[in-house]
A and B are shown apart, each in its own frame.
Chain A
Amino acid sequence: MTTVLVCDDDDDIRSLLVAILGSVADRVVETVDGGGALRAVEEHRPDLLVTDRGLGGGIDGLEVTRRVRSMPSPRPRVLLLTGRRADEDVEDARAAGVDDFLGKPFRVPELMDRVRALLEIGPHIG
């Protein structure tokens, strides 16, 4: 059973992401901030975390990624949604351990393609 965790503090985007990702994953869990995302990763052990970069509550998407990367295996893949696309932002995302990224606003088929690819490869093991 595949599980996707969606983390975005924008209510419209989060609810829409949950709606569309429900068609490619068996289960979709949602959370609004970084702290909630970390708790949800431990509780639900998702295969994939789709997170916005800018989150309220003091823990942004990159910090969530760093902390998830230090959790015990299996660790979810991370797809970062971000409007910040300067070179150093992409570099920061890679350095934090993000598996893939997509700029906002994105095309839904592009998002679905990348979500399917990350679910296909499965979580980080080892």
Chain B
Amino acid sequence: MKAAVGDVLVIDGHHVGERTRRGEVVEVRGADGAPPYIVRWDDSERTTLLFPGPDCIVHHRDDDAP
């Protein structure tokens, strides 16, 4: 898995009532875009360190460019 600063990570809930989580990568700790990442979640002003699992989808910032 590779990500860059500004990319958005999306993790779908797996259980009833569990919401989809979305956060922006603000720092890449691994080498060459590899995890872990410091992520600022949409529903929180704070950042956390994330080791993403295989359910984590990366929306690259450049993909949204015109």
State yes or no: do A and B come from one complex.
no
Interface residues of B (CB under 8 A from A): none
Give me the interface of A with B, judged by CB distance under 8 Å.
Answer: none
